Chain A
Amino acid sequence: AQTVTQSQPEMSVQEAETVTLSCTYDTSESDYYLFWYKQPPSRQMILVIRQEAYKQQNATENRFSVNFQKAAKSFSLKISDSQLGDAAMYFCAYQTGANNLFFGTGTRLTVIP
């Protein structure tokens, strides 16, 4: 069974600083996809960044980047130059060819002005 674990229920970061959110997953599949989604309070879930497992290069989207360690089944999210608008719940998610997403329990990120 696929499982996604986010071991940090809450994190905080000073505005303009860098923070890393952790995610580990368990799977027997060799081909899959990994995502980080952001869910602001009372707002809808939006995609932050995605990674194909077959790609060795870590994905980057502006201030967001991932550290994908396939052998360790680790997929952490780094947010650089944190902004107040980054405050949200962050969910790590896993997807196989079956296409439904498996989510972790989330990490609540607080940005301190």
Chain B
Amino acid sequence: DTGVSQNPRHKITKRGQNVTFRCDPISEHNRLYWYRQTLGQGPEFLTYFQNEAQLEKSRLLSDRFSAERPKGSFSTLEIQRTEQGDSAMYLCASSPRVAGLETQYFGPGTRLLVL
């Protein structure tokens, strides 16, 4: 399967701990996006990369959140000092860079539960 993959699929942690999620985009997709989805809501944009450059960050991305995409391949999203409000599904998507319409392809998500 050559789709977007995310690891881990589930993460349970205690409040105050740090967590890191990984996203592997579709090969040759140079744009990578992170979204957060809380129960009963649609996904909300967090940040996106074009190759290794982080081009945009949402106001939702507090200073406890950091994302990287070294070498423009996989990406990591780290949450420091987790809070119960961080409990959500974290979705990764990738898209190719083509002129005009770009479709984002989503991974299965990482479901985070902060106790």
Contacts and interface: CB of A to CB of B under 8 A. Distances in A.
A11 interface: no
Contacts of B108: 43-44
A36 to B, nearest CB: 12
A47 B40 contact: no
Interface string A63-107: 000000000000000000000000000010101001111111110
B95 A101 contact: no
Interface stretch (B13-21, B71-79, B80-88, B98-106): B98-106
Contacts of B3: 44
Nearest to A47: B103
Interface string A19-43: 0000000000000010101000001
A35 B104 CA distance: 10
B56 A100 contact: yes
Nearest to A98: B56
B31 interface: yes
B101 A104 contact: no
Given A99-B95, A105-B42, A45 B106 contact: yes
B102 A99 contact: yes
Contacts of B95: 99
A8 B102 CA distance: 27
Contacts of A98: 56
B29 to A, nearest CB: 12
Interface of A: 4, 33, 35, 37, 43-47, 50, 52, 91, 93, 95, 98-106
10 contacts: A37-B106, A43-B108, A44-B106, A50-B101, A50-B103, A99-B95, A100-B48, A101-B45, A104-B42, A106-B40
